[in-house]
Amino acid sequence: MGYIKLEGMEFYAYHGYYESERQVGNHYKVDIELKVPFSLASSADELSGTVNYEDIYNIVAAEMKSPVKLLEFLGKKILDQVLRLSDDIQEAKVSIYKNNPPIGGVCAWSKVTICFPEDYA
């Protein structure tokens, strides 16, 4: 068993509760972590024995292009798609960071983390 992590994927997207956020856009970062068995990939050097990083990135990039109001909703949409890549995924976690959220004060970023299986119960 091992972990696949894609960290610091950067996007400019149009998510937000307020209409102004969905018009102006903002900078986002996304981290994904998957717990998967590595026995075939580590012994046979075969991509079929793991989850393809490019597929993970493409899912995140596609979901980031579709504006939503809440990062919690976006995180679940991303995980739903990633979990379809392999039945072997034991655990998964996606974190989405929003730079300078509109909260009326100084804040470097807001962050939402959704986990499988915990948030799928």
Domains of the chain and CATH, by start: 2-120 (3.30.1130.10)
Catalytic residue among 69, 77, 93, 98: 98
Q: What HEC string does 29-64 produce? A: EEEEEEEECCHHHHHHCCHHHCCCHHHHHHHHHHHH
pLDDT of residue 16: 96
Task: Decide if pLDDT at 45 tops 90.
Answer: no
Q: Give residue-wise pLDDT tens across range 102-116.
A: 999 999 999 999 999
How much of the chain exceeds pLDDT 90, in percent? 86
Q: List the end-to-end C-alpha distance of the chain, in Å, as a whole number.
A: 23
Residue 108: closest CA among 118, 99, 116: 99
pLDDT of residue 42: 82
Query: How many other CB atoms sit within 10 Å of the CB of residue 36?
Result: 20
pLDDT range class, residue 5, cuts 50, 70, 90: very high
Query: Are 72 and 81 contacting, i.e. CB atoms less than 8 angstroms apart?
Result: no
98 is known as an active-site residue:
yes
